[in-house]
Structure 1
Amino acid sequence: MSIEHNSSGSGDTAKYRTAAAIVGQALAQATALVVPGMSAAAICSYTDELLEALCGSVFRKETIERGVAFPTTVSVNRIIQNHSPAPEDDYILREGDVVKVDATAHIDGYISSAAHTAVATNFPSETVTDRRADAIAAAYYASEVAAHMIRPGQSARNLVKALGLVASGFGCTVAAETYTSQIDRFVMSGKTAFANRFDPDILVPDVTFEAGEVYTIDCTMSTGSGVARESAHAPTIYQRDVHHQYSLKLRTSRALFSEVCRRYSVFPFLMRNAIGTNNALKAGVSECVRSQLLVPFTVTADKEPGDTFVAQFKATVMCHHTGPVRLTRALPMPNVHSSTVIPQESEIGQILALDCEQAALPELPRLKNQIPIPIPSHHSGANAAATSMDIS
């Protein structure tokens, strides 16, 4: 598998690059919505609709599966991952919130994923200099370091070590349950997947990256302990376990699972979309989960309460025989300034000086029907009601 530096190329690399272009455009538009008064649920819904529309605008002559490969999540402050709130569990962004937007799409099973962290503020020209800046800078540079290390012969153990060095340099910790995962067609976690947080009880696999492999790198940093615990938010994202079989007993469970099988293949989905207007199907969720036919994605948060901030940057990178080739494009780092500086002569500085090429991405067609952009709420009553909810 090779990266082509023009609009042509093999079908798989062309579809990877197209998915990366789609994710990049959607993520840029989504992060522009990170402002006080904006609904987290609205950002998720808008981004998923945009991803679906963009995926539907390419390779139109081919009858292929395409669309959202993992529902968009908007995780605020110390929430680590998997937060795609239902309207009844919504959160309205507040001034100063650290907001992580994570988007994933696929074209014919070829997946690209990216995440970006922004600060919700009405004063974008003001530089953030507190602990939020440390978390954001740590996650940003960790993502850059990891991307530069996806090269033939480099080891997973060295990558985990480097991420730990970046985290400690900024006085942060690598968030638990965040991974670097090899991806393949219709596979979001392939034969090589390892936690980015070093755990003395779990040995990092003794593997080296090989040319032709594609990885998603989820670099998530916390100003707290980084230890993940289940948050107060119920899971909204689920996935079929296609390797598990069970004879469901309840009629509602059978109806729900039949609907899931009809509408979704191997990729995770939002349960509220599967249920739709048929609220009776909700009664079937518990049995489908107990029988392991459906697997929920837990919404996790840093276990330390208070002013703990978690930041995330994610990239999709191909290991090319010439070195790493970034498929997704990095958005500019937010307006933050940390007191920590990475010396050029340091181990991390030397890694950042290595080559890391950006893949040429195709220009996407203009959508015929634009997705309505959500508008932030400026009504103090509604805003106060939503922001009173615990976001951990």
Structure 2
Amino acid sequence: MNGDTTGSIKYRTAAAAVEQVLKQTAAVAVPGMSVAAICSYADSLVEATCKSVFRKDDSIERGVAFPTTVSVNRVIQNYSPGPEEDYVLREGDVVKLEVGAHIDGYISSAAHTVVATNAPGTSIADRRADAICAAHYACEVAVRMIRPGQSAHHMVKALGLVASGFKCTVAAETFTSQIDRFVMSGRNTFANRFNPNVQVPSLVFEAGEVYTVDCTMSTGNGIARESTYSPAIYQRDVNQQHSLKLRTSRALFTSVNREHSVFPFLMRGVVGSSQSLKAGVSECVRSQLLVPFAVTMDKEPGDTFVAQFKATVLCHHTGPVRLTRALPLPNVLPATAIPAESEIGQILALDCEQAALPELPRLKLPIQTPIPTQPPAGAAAAAVSSASMDTS
């Protein structure tokens, strides 16, 4: 990276925390495990891990940059349920895990996809494998294209080529976003899915910029629709001002301002069991003071699977420097392969430096690992047909 500046160290420390937490989270994404328990476990790990570094400076804000999400099968993003809307993983579920951390506002985030199974040695060779490989290789392509002089238009085209090669589609509402200190979606943000009605911005990557690339692929049409799951994640819009009428709304917004800065947060952590605070959410959303992150799913019903891989990358003057590390792929055998001589094969052959990540201290108080419950009856037999979490 471009020197061991304070920002560089904090980016890499956040990336090390994300890698460690994502690895531990993937290990517990097994049949019988509650999604709510996984999300709570991962968020607790992020908080504890981030608090274990830079301990001499109490003024540094650190912790979760985006609450952990565990989106299953055809759910695309933002699923971080409470107990009332929980889901228990079944044998064969495609599980997308996304983790984000920050140290003093310097953000790193990553996502990885696994298949919930009690037989990890078994190869998966159906449409789940195609979605997972499409998302994995799309992320590897995108990472290698974050280099000075490369264009966003060319990247979007390349991601579409990867998707079509595996007979998949790029999921809508997924983006490549420039990030900065305390900024998760900067001025250079564009959709990864080509839309003939929306022009891809004519931006060219420049040295010194940092990006997150969110590569999400679907075996369906990739069109996102809002599910019936309630939004759990919200963010304060610091550019909005509004005089709230209801006392409950004012109390809620005061709590949000006191407990959270600019980063997205879980609303249930603010309202708890308080019905009065919960009643204030609607007015805060209508006034655009709070922005909900809708839980979306692929519009196409049936055996549709969505996979996601995400990375944080520095555009260095020598080429891309990957901050977050890629975890090993699950045991998948897609129906197609990428020829080395193809345009995508040539991009995959490009160099991509991996940033050296610091070693993190061992936690003084280990976070308790969640325990799986008994899987629902017939879960193994219903594995693929449960592509659901279907609320249509």
Q: State whether TM-score is above 0.5.
A: yes
Q: 2:14 is matched with which residue? A: 19
What amino acid is aligned across from residue 156 of structure 1 in structure 2? A
Q: 1:328 is matched with which residue? A: 324
Q: 1:60 is matched with which residue? A: 55
Find out whether 1:262 has 2:258 as its counterpart: yes
Residue from 339, 343, 347 that aligns with 1:343: 339
What amino acid is aligned across from residue 272 of structure 1 in structure 2? R
* Partner-residue secondary structure (3-state), 1:111: strand
Q: 1:109 is matched with which residue? A: 105
Q: CA deviation at 1:339?
A: 1.9
Residue from 300, 303, 308 that aligns with 1:307: 303
Find out whether 1:44 has 2:39 as its counterpart: yes
Q: CA deviation at 1:45?
A: 0.4
Residue from 356, 369, 373 that aligns with 2:369: 373
Q: CA RMSD in A?
A: 1.4
Contact 1:91 1:391 in 2 (8 A): no
Residue from 55, 70, 73 that aligns with 1:77: 73
Q: 2:156 is matched with which residue? A: 160
Residue from 202, 206, 212 that aligns with 1:210: 206
Deviations 1:81-139 (A, max 9, x none): 00001111000000100000000000000000000000001111000000000000000
State the alpha-carbon separation in 1 of the partners of residues 86 and 376 from structure 2: 16
Moved over 3 A (4+): 387-392
- Structure-1-length-normalised TM-score: 0.96
State the alpha-carbon separation in 2 of the partners of residues 106 and 43 from structure 1: 20
State the alpha-carbon separation in 2 of the partners of residues 238 and 212 from structure 1: 30
Residue from 271, 274, 283 that aligns with 1:287: 283
Q: CA deviation at 1:389?
A: 6.4
* Partner-residue secondary structure (3-state), 1:221: strand
State the alpha-carbon separation in 1 of the partners of residues 293 and 375 from structure 2: 33
Contact 2:89 2:375 in 1 (8 A): no
Find out whether 1:147 has 2:143 as its counterpart: yes
State the alpha-carbon separation in 2 of the partners of residues 344 and 86 from structure 1: 45
* Partner-residue secondary structure (3-state), 2:95: strand
State the alpha-carbon separation in 1 of the partners of residues 152 and 288 from structure 2: 31
* Partner-residue secondary structure (3-state), 2:195: coil
Residue from 160, 167, 187 that aligns with 1:191: 187
Q: CA deviation at 1:175?
A: 0.1
What amino acid is aligned across from residue 287 of structure 2 in structure 1? S
State the alpha-carbon separation in 2 of the partners of residues 143 and 88 from structure 1: 34
State the alpha-carbon separation in 1 of the partners of residues 229 and 298 from structure 2: 13
Deviations 1:9-61 (A, max 9, x none): 11000000000000000000001111100000000000000000000000111
CA distance 1:219–1:389, change in 2 (3 Å): closer
State the alpha-carbon separation in 1 of the partners of residues 234 and 391 from structure 2: 20
Residue from 251, 260, 273 that aligns with 1:277: 273
Contact 1:31 1:118 in 2 (8 A): yes
Aligned residues: 384
Q: 1:35 is matched with which residue? A: 30
Q: Among the aligned pairs, what percent are the same residue?
A: 73
CA distance 1:102–1:379, change in 2 (3 Å): closer
Contact 1:3 1:359 in 2 (8 A): no
Tell me whether 278-287 or 204-213 shows the greater mean CA deviation: 278-287
Q: CA deviation at 1:3?
A: 3.5
Contact 2:311 2:322 in 1 (8 A): yes
- Structure-2-length-normalised TM-score: 0.96
Residue from 113, 130, 143 that aligns with 1:134: 130
State the alpha-carbon separation in 1 of the partners of residues 75 and 147 from structure 2: 31
State the alpha-carbon separation in 1 of the partners of residues 143 and 95 from structure 2: 22
State the alpha-carbon separation in 1 of the partners of residues 45 and 159 from structure 2: 32
State the alpha-carbon separation in 2 of the partners of residues 206 and 280 from structure 1: 47
State the alpha-carbon separation in 2 of the partners of residues 165 and 379 from structure 1: 38
State the alpha-carbon separation in 1 of the partners of residues 335 and 300 from structure 2: 23
